[in-house]
A and B are shown apart, each in its own frame.
Chain A
Amino acid sequence: MNARTPTKDKISLEGLSLRYTSGAQALDGVDLEVEAGLFGLLGPNGAGKTTLMRILTTLLKPTGGTARVFGHDVVRDAGQVRSMLGYLPQDFQTYDQLKAWEVLDYYAILNGMADRKQRRVRIEEVLALVGLADKRNQRAGQFSGGMYRRLGVAQALLTDARLLIFDEPTAGLDPAQRVRFRNFLGELSRDRIVILSTHIVADIGSVCDKLAVLNHGQVEFLGKCRQLADRAEGKVWQVCVDDAQYEELRSEYAITSMIDTDHGLQLRLLSEAQNDPDWQSVVPTLEDAYLWLINSSDSHEPAA
């Protein structure tokens, strides 16, 4: 990370921790700096991604460390942080009986935009930006999955937020919609910070400049996508096996893909060393590298 970037232009987390009253440690000393661009957040379920996003959106108070958004502390200056923030939750739902422009009008009021004329202008701008200008008078309940998501993005853009946080934004979209949507996210990130949390590694790999991998509440990796893929160099193998061998390998190694071919099952597996001369080393993808990282992180984790 660029230490010279002024604090007021980035998000900085120092030793950020959160322990729930139940005793569960959701975040454990997270240090992170995020600058303008599209930043990916990866991790298995329960890794702490949602907790981290909820702290950044001022919905949770950390129990340790500090989180600063453009120089503002998320606890002390929560009001200022909220005014710079656009958030799209994973299961965005809204007033289905209202027209698209009315939904946005409501959220604009909640964002503190009191002037009606100013609101209308901004709503038209945002609708055009997400490609829903011609659907402005259509009820939200009649929208397709992709249009509904775009409406969700539109509500996050109403205040011209400097920080956008999207939780699983492509979930439920068909492949074509997904590609369009992530390209759109790429455009949005040109002049602001966009944090994208997802389980779909391909989404991160295709649009994010940088990413962080969280596991057990800690940052396991922080850097560029290519750097993560490089880390798994020499640890991803390809081999063709029959059903019996497959069962044997499955119990011993993490298998990242399996294709049924004419010559048997073609597997991609993760291993620290070439344990069979038939194994061929292959160039790791981001998904291979992510799975390798999580596997090795889990194997070092002391048994609970």
Chain B
Amino acid sequence: MNRQLNILREITLIELRVQRRNPIWIISLAAAALLGFSESSTAGVLDWPTTNQAFRAYQLGCVMIFGVMTFLLTAGALSRDLSDNRKDLLLCRPISLWVYIWGKYFGNILFALCVSILLMLAFLVIPLFHGQSSIYPLRPFILLTLFSTLPIILYSGALAVLLMCLSRKVIVAMPVFLVYFLAMALFRIPETLRGKTLDVDMWDFSMRLYPHSVSANVGASKLYDMSFSHLLQPPVPELYARAALYTALSLVLVGLSVLLLKRMRSS
């Protein structure tokens, strides 16, 4: 057992080492940071409600960027071992496939999480570039990372593992993954048409962290109030439930992937 855990740790570490050289994360991080900084330059900083808008943009950006990035990194990592001319080299080795898949999964999840923290740190200091004396408050960003970004990283990674074990080709897995985003949007349309105002939408990773009901009038417009004073309140309980649901679902998907790979080995 101890030996298996050591191998799991080694695979996780080597995955971090390999992904460190992957240009995908650098491009993603650069794109997200540049967009964030340019958005804050045009919208203004710490100036309600634009701060709130910048935060919402960051929130949605994290979902899209880290969803796709985690998928690409994880699928790429697996395709290197599972492609037609390489899978024999993996499957004829004595390693436990449970250890292999979980090691790959943890490595990529951990890597994506580190990049998301880097992005968060880059965003936190934005006000300093605009003559402010303090950075953004940390709490909403941490909550967002824990309950919005991390679940999508876990879920996208798990989906990548499953789709790669099924198709073994990124080119096949990627469109299926994008269909997931489409499905997410489709789930939202009926809700919007019905005028439903769920505090937490179980299918939406953009995660309204706080109740919708709080709103404020700004000129002629009615905007949701997500100023920092409100963000410092505890999030709604459904948030935890949703994060737990997606985490559990991710674990199930990874478990299923191992069984698929075991079946491939003993065909």
Contact = CB atoms under 8 A, between A and B. Distances in A.
A220 to B, nearest CB: 26
Contacts of B93: 82, 107, 110-112
Interface string A78-100: 11001101010101111101100
A60 interface: yes
B193 interface: no
Nearest to A88: B89
B21 A58 contact: no
A184 interface: no
A209 interface: no
B10 A116 contact: yes
16 contacts: A58-B265, A59-B91, A82-B94, A91-B85, A92-B89, A95-B80, A97-B18, A102-B14, A109-B10, A109-B14, A111-B93, A111-B94, A112-B94, A114-B3, A114-B6, A116-B10
A106 interface: yes
B173 to A, nearest CB: 20
Interface string B66-109: 00000000000000100101101111111100001000000000
B85 A89 contact: yes
Interface of A: 54, 57-61, 78-79, 82-83, 85, 87, 89, 91-95, 97-98, 102, 105-107, 109-112, 114-116, 155
Which bracket fits the contact residues of B? 20 to 34
A278 B152 CA distance: 81
Contacts of B11: 109
A105 B86 contact: no
B18 A98 contact: yes
- The 4 lowest CB-CB distance pairs between A and B, nearest first, are A114-B6, A57-B92, A82-B94, A83-B94
A114 B9 CA distance: 9
A89 B86 CA distance: 8
A92 B89 CA distance: 8
B88 A57 contact: yes
A159 B3 CA distance: 16
B17 interface: yes
A85 B92 contact: yes
B266 interface: yes
Q: Which of B7, B10, B17 has the most CB of A within 10 A?
A: B10
A93 B10 contact: no
Contact of A97 (B3, B7, B14, B21): B21
Nearest to A114: B6
Contacts of B92: 57-59, 82, 85, 87
A257 B7 CA distance: 54
B7 A109 contact: yes
Interface string B233-267: 00000000000000000000000000000000111
A241 to B, nearest CB: 44
A106 B14 contact: yes
Contacts of A85: 92
A79 B85 CA distance: 22
Given A58-B92, A105-B14, A110-B90, 5 more contacts: A58-B265, A82-B92, A87-B88, A110-B93, A114-B7
B99 to A, nearest CB: 9
A111 B100 CA distance: 11
A278 B85 CA distance: 50
Contacts of A87: 88-89, 92
B86 A93 contact: yes
A88 B166 CA distance: 25
Nearest to B100: A110
Contact of B95 (A60, A112, A115): A112
A92 B83 CA distance: 12
B1 to A, nearest CB: 12
Contacts of A82: 92-94
A175 to B, nearest CB: 25
Contacts of B7: 109, 112, 114
